[in-house]
A and B are shown apart, each in its own frame.
Chain A
Amino acid sequence: MTQMAKKKPDDEISTAVSSNGTAQDILRAPAEVLYAEEIEHLCKEDKHHRPPGWKMSPRAVLSYICGGKVGAREITPKYIGYQRLVEIAISTLVTDRALLLIGEPGTAKSWLSEHLAAAINGDSTKVVQGTAGTTEEHIRYTWNYALLIAHGPSREALIRSPIFRAMESGSLARFEEITRCAAEVQDALISLLSEKRISVPELMTEVPAAKGFSIIATANTRDRGVNDMSAALKRRFNMIVLPTPATLETEVGIVRKRVRELATHLELRAAVPADDAIEQVVTIFRELRSGQTLDGKNKIKVPSGVLSTAEAISVLAGGMALAGNFGTGQVTANDLAAGMQGAVVKDEEKDKIVWQEYLANVLKKRGAEWRPLYTACAEHNT
């Protein structure tokens, strides 16, 4: 089993985190711990109807995720930009349908899934982390083999998966990176989701899901080709595509914040790039990603890479590392250009032309502030 719930004392592997874990030695606490106060406040103020198995009403969940003033308290927004998508996600879970969040890397799929589970159940830790090595046992159940051999199949010897436990308790299970699993493993979910019960033939029994059970899965748009989901499974999910940040300002904000954090975390000994530089990098990324210039007047070719927000962050952080270790400590256009080249040109022959075309047709005509970056990039691309 990949990750065990920390609140289950009878689970063998759970000790390290749960029993003596304090905020200091955990790298990152789950959402329901980080935002415990807000959740408590929302539950207290909540006057609307709560669906069975939910800790708060759909509206309160919406307030928790999109922020706003509730009672006397300001709730911090966790997901910014697309409130309507959050509404659709919550409504999906109300109708007992499973939810699939799809998006490119860095569009906050897992983040949203974690916070949904935290708000609805106060527990976001029933997670299956999908990999190519995930087997059906990770989705259904497996056995404690010592007990199994000693006493034969019994309830005690049964090790239940996070999804199994979610069904028993009527809560949400999360399935991360579902398309990384082999298609036949994914298909274990089909009958679970349509019949809402899990059978354990070894014990000659069947466990029905309690009200409130559902699954939130996440998948990468670019990975779809890796292991496509079967049509049967797709039908059991409501699918929401999470878009990249809507505006330049939002994305610049996200990038700036993350670059600052990284700089302190990784102790990059260089000054954080100027806002202009960040904006230029993000602008280039957004334009190449969307296939058109920001003003919408010109279409451009799209390179084969993803060009996610995450990569923009790493270009800037990489530039800082270069400047800190081999340069003056000030990030120059040249430091950025090396990273840009790597991020944009993934397929040597094709992307190179795309990049060159973009440089000549768009960047070159942008005026003096862009000149250094243009020159540096053009040099790197020969």
Chain B
Amino acid sequence: VSTWRIHVFGVRHLSPTGAWHLCRFLDRVQPKAVLIEGLADADELIPHFTRKGTKPPIAILAYTDAMPVRTLVYPLAGYSPEYRALKWAHENEVQVEFIDLPSDIFLGLQDLEVERLERRAKDDETDGEDDGKEAEPESAADSGEPAESWRPEPGRSIYERIARRSDEPDYDTYWERRFEHNLADDSYRLASFELGRALRDESDPPLRRAENLVREAYMRRRIEEVIAGGVKSEEIVAIVGAFHAPVLTGEFPAMTDEELASLPRRSSKLTLMPYSYFKLSTQSGYGAGNHAPAYFELLWETLQAGDLHELPLRYLSNVVRFLRDKGTHRSTAEVIEGVRLARTLSALHEGLAPTLRDLRDAAVTLIGHGELSTISEALSHADVGTAIGELPKGVSRTSIQSDFERELERLKLEKYRSTVKQELTLDLRENRRVKSEEAAFLDLHRSSFLHRLRVLDIGFAKPAPTGQQTTTWAEKWFLQWSPESEISLVEAVLLGETLELAAGFKFKTRLEGCTNIAEAADLVQDACQCGLMQSMDHARQRLQELAAGSTELKAIAHAAFQLSQTARYGDVRKFDPAPLLPLMEELFVQGALALHGAAGCDNPTAQALLVSMDEMNRVSLEHHDRVEEKLWLDRLKRLADADDRNPLLSGYACGLLLERGLIPNEDLVREVSRRLSPGIPADLGAGWFEGLAKRNRYSLLARQPLWAALADYIRSLDDDQFKRALVFLRRAFGCFSPQEKRHICENLGEFWGVGREETSEALEQPLTEKEEQTLKDLNTFDFDNL
């Protein structure tokens, strides 16, 4: 069999025109065996692809069944050439096989690669911290891409180089312009064969190239097996990436048994899983069609219907229709002009038809009136769409399920997996009585795990409502297993292959939709509870973005306060709060600057702002070495001196400064008599005093000059003014304890020439009828709509 030559059809994965040409090619050649580039051990899954109830997009998922989890995803859309080949083989009842390396070898190689990256990351850390972080596998994992280089069509460098040489901005446009609109018979197959050759002539990172060579040798081995099985070589069609097409002939050596045995392996499992267009579009480096699955599906549909030339019209109509549904009207004339512009743009590059890029640019110019932001939502709807795949019941056995089971075992939670509701109390502190670190922090790990389930809406674990949240180290949960939990667990695989990845992805989407500061601050805390430091960092970034655009003191102060609290968790939850602190500092500056503007408000608002001022003040006290305390004090001083702000807040600012001993006695007395001078409306004066009296009562009580000033003030009021002031003074002292009130009365009594004993005697006396009447009269006093 040394000089065998089979039909090879080189494609780009997820290329609709490739699928269209492939179907015609298969019809013409009528092969006896169809061989597809795909995990060899996924053969057993083949019947599921064509079963009733299977609806693409779906994906083959391979994963290791032990830690550390490595995964491999092969997504297929309805227009994937591979999917169409499977369908064709099923309908024509011919042999069909996957011929790429089996998953255990793929994952074994991936293991090596990740270890190599980890080593490099460690080396890098010494010279450049940022670069090191980029290369860490954790960061790769967060983007849903454990190791991009292990995709069937790895890397983009050589592809980009080819595109650049043809004067195209990127490989996608290069490919679409040259391949996707070309319907001439056999041109696709021959052109992709030539492209494969050109790509092989490019220099590639040696590791990547070596991996490809290994895979190709294995594919040849599999082809030879099929030929040995009795199929004539001219009756075989192999569907592989364009890159591999030129070397699948007998002229190159096939992999030997020894070579095969020498490859590293990781024990693995395989399953099919439902996939989504959205997920597909977030994958990078995986062949054509992935960045705009809905557009390529449209392309596939028009190909099937034989009206490919209508694609631009239908695409732009989709955009306009979406906009109209959302209430933005655009005329049909603009669609027509858009198509014309797209065609001209494509002609400028000698294309047969507009590419997606031409269409998008035309849409921005015509439909968006020059602004991408107007139509970006409509564009992403037309490009990506919302399709989700389906599989018959019971087919899917996903990595996230086994990850869940593994976690239960690791955290000794298996006994809670029952339909009976059970309570679990956690103590997050280090358990010093045990030896291993794993055991010492068992409860902390459990907490992270349960919080992840909570974030993913998997109903297994629910936090028990607790009355108080004073301790940072105790948590209570209710655990109960149900079939619904199983379903939501399987659904979560769409977010990521393990619980950690899925929770990370969920955070990512929540953050993208997050529009207010409070929510972002919550997310920071959530992520911290889930033990997802990277998500926490993203949440922090989002919080920063949102806060930067806001001048709302209430939200900013609360966020700053919450960050300082989260940073306190750092101890218990074993994470480094350092990344949170710069943001807290920034928020603090913003809050300080926003104070004066916010303080010009009415009384109900002022009550809420008291809390904000208190929060700011607590942050400044707790982190006085980090935050701009001086700025805060300057701003407080300015507010305390201001006459045009809410008097309650001015008084409160004064109180905060007083508490820190920043207002000397004589200044305080001057300020009190200024605020409480007879010309000033009583409500302003008393409001100010109320604010002042909200803090540091003891220190106020001890300052005799203050009471002297107050006594003078009250003496200076005439009857009506006095009654009016009485209301506010009463409110100001309302929150004082009886003990304190008595103290005040005694103080004032001294100044009015009434002795201490006499005062207290007067206070002890029950109210006389006359006094009661006076008080009653006060209730009907007309306060001028106060």
Interface residues of A (CB under 8 A from B): 58-59, 62, 84, 87-88, 90-92, 94-95, 97, 100, 102, 234-235, 238-241, 291-292, 297-301, 349, 353, 356-357, 360-361
Residues of B within 8 A of A95 (CB): 337, 340-341, 344
Counting from the closest, the 3 A-B pairs by CB-CB distance are: A239-B370, A299-B548, A91-B344
- A239 CA to B585 CA, complexed, in Å: 43
The answer to the question of B562 belonging to the interface, with a C-beta cut-off of 8 Å to chain A, is: no
Using A62-B348, A298-B586 as known contacts, say yes or no to A238 and B365 having CB atoms under 8 A apart.
yes
**How many contacts A-B (CB < 8 Å)?**
79
- A235 CA to B330 CA, complexed, in Å: 9
Partner pick for A91 among B348, B370, B547, CB 8 A cutoff: B348
The answer to the question of B786 belonging to the interface, with a C-beta cut-off of 8 Å to chain A, is: no
Residues of A within 8 A of B586 (CB): 298, 361
**Interface range, B side:** 20 to 34
Contact A349 B597 (CB under 8 A): yes
Residues of A within 8 A of B348 (CB): 58-59, 62, 87, 90-91
Residues of B within 8 A of A59 (CB): 348
The answer to the question of B631 belonging to the interface, with a C-beta cut-off of 8 Å to chain A, is: yes
- A84 CA to B585 CA, complexed, in Å: 42
Residues of A within 8 A of B544 (CB): 298-299
Q: Please list 15 pairs of residues, one from A and one from B, whose beta carbons are closer than 8 Å in the complex, sorted by A's number.
A: A62-B348, A87-B345, A88-B365, A91-B344, A91-B345, A238-B366, A297-B541, A298-B544, A298-B586, A299-B548, A299-B549, A353-B593, A353-B594, A356-B593, A357-B590
The answer to the question of B369 belonging to the interface, with a C-beta cut-off of 8 Å to chain A, is: yes
**Which single residue of chain B is at the shortest CB-CB distance from A89?**
B365
- A291 CA to B548 CA, complexed, in Å: 9
Q: Which of A91, A297, A360 has the largest count of B CB atoms less than 10 A from its CB?
A: A91
Contact A357 B589 (CB under 8 A): yes
The answer to the question of B361 belonging to the interface, with a C-beta cut-off of 8 Å to chain A, is: yes
> Which chain B residues (304-324) contact chain A, with CB distance < 8 Å?
none
Q: Which of B333, B345, B365, B549 has the largest count of A CB atoms less than 10 A from its CB?
A: B365
Residues of B within 8 A of A91 (CB): 341, 344-345, 348
Residues of A within 8 A of B370 (CB): 100, 102, 239-241
| Minimum Cβ distance to chain A for residue B373 (Å) | 10
Other than A88-B362, A92-B344, A298-B544, give 18 A-B pairs with Cβ distance below 8 A.
A58-B348, A91-B348, A95-B341, A95-B344, A97-B340, A235-B331, A238-B341, A238-B365, A239-B369, A241-B371, A292-B548, A298-B586, A299-B545, A299-B548, A301-B549, A357-B589, A361-B585, A361-B586
> Which chain B residues (543-559) contact chain A, with CB distance < 8 Å?
544-549, 551
The answer to the question of B169 belonging to the interface, with a C-beta cut-off of 8 Å to chain A, is: yes
Residues of A within 8 A of B362 (CB): 88
- A94 CA to B365 CA, complexed, in Å: 15
The answer to the question of B750 belonging to the interface, with a C-beta cut-off of 8 Å to chain A, is: no
Contact A353 B597 (CB under 8 A): yes
- A62 CA to B585 CA, complexed, in Å: 50
**Which single residue of chain A is at the shortest CB-CB distance from B370?**
A239
Contact B369 A357 (CB under 8 A): no
The answer to the question of B628 belonging to the interface, with a C-beta cut-off of 8 Å to chain A, is: yes
Residues of A within 8 A of B548 (CB): 291-292, 298-301
Interface residues of B (CB under 8 A from A): 169, 331, 333-334, 337, 340-341, 344-345, 348, 361-362, 365-366, 369-371, 541, 544-549, 551, 585-586, 589-590, 593-594, 597, 628, 631
Residues of A within 8 A of B593 (CB): 353, 356-357
- A102 CA to B548 CA, complexed, in Å: 28
**Which single residue of chain A is at the shortest CB-CB distance from B361?**
A88
| Minimum Cβ distance to chain A for residue B520 (Å) | 12
Partner pick for B365 among A239, A301, A356, CB 8 A cutoff: A239
| Minimum Cβ distance to chain B for residue A332 (Å) | 26
Q: Which of A102, A292, A356, A357 has the largest count of B CB atoms less than 10 A from its CB?
A: A357
- A300 CA to B589 CA, complexed, in Å: 12
Residues of B within 8 A of A234 (CB): 369
**Which single residue of chain B is at the shortest CB-CB distance from A62?**
B348
- A240 CA to B585 CA, complexed, in Å: 41
| Minimum Cβ distance to chain A for residue B416 (Å) | 42
Residues of A within 8 A of B361 (CB): 84, 88
Contact A361 B590 (CB under 8 A): yes
- A361 CA to B583 CA, complexed, in Å: 9
Residues of A within 8 A of B334 (CB): 235
Residues of A within 8 A of B545 (CB): 292, 299
Residues of A within 8 A of B549 (CB): 291, 299, 301
| Minimum Cβ distance to chain A for residue B256 (Å) | 51
Partner pick for A88 among B333, B345, B597, B631, CB 8 A cutoff: B345
Contact A360 B341 (CB under 8 A): no
Residues of B within 8 A of A238 (CB): 337, 341, 365-366
| Minimum Cβ distance to chain A for residue B123 (Å) | 24
| Minimum Cβ distance to chain B for residue A50 (Å) | 14
Q: Which of B344, B593, B631 has the largest count of A CB atoms less than 10 A from its CB?
A: B344
Contact A235 B628 (CB under 8 A): no
| Minimum Cβ distance to chain B for residue A5 (Å) | 29
- A298 CA to B583 CA, complexed, in Å: 9
Contact A235 B340 (CB under 8 A): no
Residues of B within 8 A of A360 (CB): 589, 628, 631
Contact B597 A240 (CB under 8 A): no
Residues of B within 8 A of A92 (CB): 341, 344, 365
| Minimum Cβ distance to chain B for residue A69 (Å) | 13
| Minimum Cβ distance to chain A for residue B420 (Å) | 49
Q: Which of B341, B594, B597 has the largest count of A CB atoms less than 10 A from its CB?
A: B341
**Which single residue of chain A is at the shortest CB-CB distance from B357?**
A84
Contact A84 B169 (CB under 8 A): yes
Contact A361 B337 (CB under 8 A): no
| Minimum Cβ distance to chain B for residue A99 (Å) | 9
- A337 CA to B609 CA, complexed, in Å: 35
| Minimum Cβ distance to chain B for residue A109 (Å) | 12
| Minimum Cβ distance to chain A for residue B343 (Å) | 8
- A357 CA to B593 CA, complexed, in Å: 7
